[in-house]
Copies of this chain bind each other. A is one copy, B any other.
Amino acid sequence: MAGTRLDPIDRKILAELQADGRMTNVELAKRVGISAPPCLRRVRTLEESGYIRGYHADVDSRELGFEVQVFAMVGLNSQAEADLSAFEELCRCWSLVRECHMLNGEVDFILKCVAPDLSTFQSFLTEDLLKAENVASVKTSLVIRDAKDEPGVPFDVLEERISRNA
C-alpha cells in the first residue's frame, strides 16, 4: 500500500526494471545483490503495492507510421469539477490523445497527441476536440523533433535526496 517505505534494494529493483523491464529475475537478483526468490517476492510486492504499474515495450512511433506529434493547450468555459471530469473522460476515449494533464494557470489542460499524418490530426481537432462540449480554446504546437524522451523518474535525484536526508 501507499506510503510503505522502500529500502535501498527495492529502489535498485525499481531503477533496474525501469531501465530494462524484460530483465530476468535471476539477472535482476544478481544486480541488486540478493538471491532470486526474495528478489521475486520483492518485485511482486512492488507490483501489488502500486509502485510498479505495469511493463510496456517502448515502440518507435515514427517508424510505425505516426509521423505527427502535437501538444494541444485546451481552455474550457467552465472549470466546475463536473465539467473538468467530463472533459477528462472524453480524452480517455480519444485514441489520438495519449496524455491529458490538468494544469494551473491560464490554460486548463495540456494534451499530447499522435497521428499518422496532419490531416488525421486536423480532422480530430476540428471534428472532435473543437466541437466538444465546454471547450473554449485550443492552441496546438507541432513537435519538430524530440531531443529527449525518457519514461519514468530520475533515480539519481531520489538517491541523492535520500542520502542528504539520512
Chain A residues in contact with chain B, CB under 8 A? Answer: 2, 6, 14, 17-22, 50-61, 63-66, 69, 71, 88, 91-92, 95-105, 107, 109-110, 114-116, 120, 141-154, 156-158, 161
Contacts and interface: CB of A to CB of B under 8 A. Distances in A.
Contact of A58 (B54, B59, B156, B161): B54
A100 to B, nearest CB: 4
A89 B38 CA distance: 40
B147 A101 contact: yes
Contacts of A115: 157
Given A19-B56, A116-B158, A153-B66, A148 B99 contact: yes
B60 A53 contact: yes
